[in-house]
Structure 1
Amino acid sequence: MNAALTDTFVDDRLAKRNALLLALAQAVGGASASIVIATGPLVGYMMLDEDKSLATLPVSTMVLGTAFGTIPAGMIMRRYGRRAGFAGASLIGVLAGLLASFAVFRDSFLLFSLACCLGGFTGAFVQQYRFAAADTASNAFKPKAISWVLAGGVLAGIVGPQTVIATKDLFSPILFAGTYLAQAGLALVAFVLVLFIKIPKPPRISHAQAGGRPLLEIMAQRRFIVAAACGICSYALMSLVMTATPLAMIACGLTETDAALGIQWHVLAMFGPSFFTGSLIARYGKERIVSIGLALLAGCSIVALMGIELAHFWTALVLLGLGWNFGFIGATAMLTDAYRPEERNMVQAVNDFLVFGFVAAASFSSGALLNAFGWGTVNILVFPFVALCLGLLGWLAWAERKEVTTA
């Protein structure tokens, strides 16, 4: 008994160490995405001479890079381990920042978009930080480990914008060239941090189990279906509304500063609750926290539809961030119940591929929907997807209760 208790303590002590390192890496690695979101459209607008509607393309290519990187990330880390995968991806992030800075100097929109795509590929590995934190955690600590890592996004929400402010005029009059050099520096810091994580190999399993269950069998589980659907909707709906909001604010007569500050509060709302989301999940259950997150996403759209004053936009953005936090972290915790240790890399990679594939689609369509149908339509589209996910959660609860009753 005492030995078992000691083993559990040691395991969670290692998990806490890994989670802290990965949270710090998330703070600097996640800042790269904030930098692209904050400056990518502005850089694109300055580079484009004719069709300014493509100004948001760098952000979309970043999301696509993340989607394309999810499967390779899983395969690489399954073969070479978490630390090697994270370290290699960080070096790619350094290259992406240097390439983006060069593109700004050369005034090359295509090269800049490609650099953002490469940075998005690195982001696919950053997204795996939350899963890596859960790898060495006990079942009780897993939700907290995931939320600790995502809490690093609070720092990313500060580091990213402050990096932009401090470096945007570094090579004046060429705006933002220094910002992307700084982005490369942040990726280098992440590289150093991930070298210190320690994630043992999964326990030995029999040859028959070595590959785990077939992927389609895992994906056919009710819990996988519901977890993936809720994760997809939480992230894609957030992307849909977030991408359109700055454009809508400018169209309603507000300033670029108003829009930038709104996005900053949104990012802080996305990651700030992560300090206690894990505890809430442990106390109230994964499904209930996901449901609250979905309700907050609907609340965001309700507030947005109530008016076009600054307070409406900022309040909606904060609710949007909170809804993403509860919905996405809860769905991530649900997903960990759907796979075995030997299956984790591929299942996590497939989940992230699905999530970021839909996020990319939402990012691409956001501006077009806003221009063609207006701000109201963008927000109304949130409601049917929230209703769908709440229905799936209800179906899962009913099915699992029925299994217990008939057992």
Structure 2
Amino acid sequence: MTTACVPVRIEDETRERAQRRTLIVLVVAQVLSGAGLAAGVTVGSLLAQDMLGSTGLAGLPSALGTAGSVLAAVAVGRVSQTRGRRVGLAAGYLAGAVGSAGVIAAAVAGNAAWLFVALFVYGAGMATNLQARYAGADLADPVRRGRAVSTVLVATTLGGVVGPNLSAPTGDLARAVAIPYLAGPFLLAGAAYALAALVLAVWLRPDPLLLARTLDALPTSSTSGTAYGRADDASGPQPVGQKRERSGVLAGGLVMGVAQLVMVAIMTMTPVHMHDHGHGAAASGLVIAIHLGAMYLPSPLTGWLVDRYNRLAIAAGSGPTLLAAGIVAASGDSIARLAIALALLGLGWNLGLVTGTAIITDAVPLATRAKTQGLVDVFIAIAGATGGIASGLVVAAAGYPLLAIGGGVLALAIVPAVIGAAGRRGG
């Protein structure tokens, strides 16, 4: 008796079709949201410096944005847990659009207090942009989760590269309609986030998380209640135990949190450092565009590596890459040198995010997945907020080179954290 002609199960066909549609919709939304995210990142610190007249507080916008993303990560995670990814992600992007409008209003009024509140709300778009990667993995086969996550992340590249390079044109447009020049990119951010929310609300059907739960509950489902510590684990699916789940969440969270802290700290103060050394907004936009491209463009390769090899081993590479970024950034202030440094910074962050996401998705069952992912992203947002706050203070007290070197050395903490997690998991 042969098994060559055994038909594919109906739920597998449904899962594959829905996964293809989900990735298409997420790609469109991420292109838009990438532009919204990048526009604000490029000029947020410069806008605060201009309004406050202080370099020491120039890191505050990034800190407020990432602090706002803490609340948004919890909210988007909980809404997604109960009502699905479509509602949760669309609501998060809509909040980002409202925050962008608030930044413009604060700049017009010259009110720093309004600016800080608006930047806090704007942070919802940042959190949602990150949480969208989880939606790409909900229906993915466990051995293709890294590539599914990378597809969503790489879609952010186009918007992330285009957004900063529109800083000067949107600034000119803003000035033409009596809006401060540095608030111009937030016009793009607001429109981009609003369109991303619309795309998800209308076309993200069926909802990937809700469908995954339905298919997982079927008696014939082969992935119910399993976790995969390694994509190439020859022993196949292993039961999800509490120890294994905690180990996976801890490892993935630490990798992503440290990478986020270091990346935000160095990225936030690079435009300020360039401005202080005579480089204009166009030069800062180019360097940030290269950085954002490096954050997302390598995702297909990273995803393949994560699926092909041990996830924790790939995660460990994030630390040395971030250290290299800090060393290069501290060694000079030319545009070319800073562009290389920020490219390495983006690559190190990418390695940490893709591997950490896959590790956590492997470890957590569908019943609690969205809620746990939201809580992990809270930790990531807190790490980013810490980096943003500390960055301005460190630069004001000791200079940008010390910030860059210190961040790189801190990133090496990823290596022992990964080794320890591997030991606890027995792999």
Indicate the residue corresponding to 1:12 in structure 2. 16
1:313/1:331 CA distance change after superposition, 3 Å: same
* Higher relative contact order (CA closer than 8 Å, sequence separation 6+): 2
Deviation at 1:160, TM superposition (A): 1.6
Indicate the residue corresponding to 2:239 in structure 1. none
Query: 145-154 vs 55-64, which deviates more?
Result: 55-64
Indicate the residue corresponding to 1:123 in structure 2. 126
Structure 1 residues without counterparts, runs of 5 or longer: 207-216, 403-407
Q: CA separation in 2, counterparts of 1:383 and 1:187?
A: 32
Q: CA separation in 1, counterparts of 2:60 and 2:148?
A: 34
1:288/1:185 CA distance change after superposition, 3 Å: same
Q: CA separation in 1, counterparts of 2:366 and 2:302?
A: 24
Indicate the residue corresponding to 2:228 in structure 1. none
Q: CA separation in 2, counterparts of 1:46 and 1:349?
A: 34
5 Å-filtered alignment, 1:96-245, equals 96-172=99-175, 173-174=178-179, 175-195=181-201, 196-197=203-204, 198=206, 199=208, 200-201=210-211, 202-203=213-214, 221-245=246-270
Indicate the residue corresponding to 1:310 in structure 2. 335
The amino acid of 1:19's aligned partner reads L
The amino acid of 2:38's aligned partner reads S
1:154/1:236 CA distance change after superposition, 3 Å: same
Q: TM-score, normalised to structure 2's length?
A: 0.84
Q: CA separation in 2, counterparts of 1:301 and 1:177?
A: 29
Deviation at 1:162, TM superposition (A): 4.0
Q: CA separation in 1, counterparts of 2:183 and 2:277?
A: 30
Q: TM-score, normalised to structure 1's length?
A: 0.88
Deviation at 1:256, TM superposition (A): 4.2
Indicate the residue corresponding to 1:212 in structure 2. none
1:13/1:140 CA distance change after superposition, 3 Å: farther
Contact 1:170 1:177 in 2 (8 A): no
5 Å-filtered alignment, 1:4-403, equals 4=8, 7-48=11-52, 50-51=53-54, 53-172=56-175, 173-174=178-179, 175-195=181-201, 196-197=203-204, 198=206, 199=208, 200-201=210-211, 202-203=213-214, 221-401=246-426
Structure 2 residues without counterparts, runs of 5 or longer: 219-241
The amino acid of 1:47's aligned partner reads M
The amino acid of 2:57's aligned partner reads L
Query: 12-21 vs 324-333, which deviates more?
Result: 12-21
Deviation at 1:324, TM superposition (A): 0.8
Deviation at 1:20, TM superposition (A): 2.2
Percent of pairs with identical residues: 26
Q: CA separation in 2, counterparts of 1:57 and 1:305?
A: 22
The alignment's C-alpha RMSD in Å is 2.6
Q: CA separation in 2, counterparts of 1:381 and 1:144?
A: 32
1:62/1:315 CA distance change after superposition, 3 Å: same
Deviations 1:277-305 (A, max 9, x none): 21121222322221222221111123234
Deviation at 1:401, TM superposition (A): 4.0
Q: CA separation in 2, counterparts of 1:378 and 1:188?
A: 35
Q: How many residues align?
A: 392
Query: 270-279 vs 196-205, which deviates more?
Result: 196-205
Query: 145-154 vs 70-79, which deviates more?
Result: 70-79
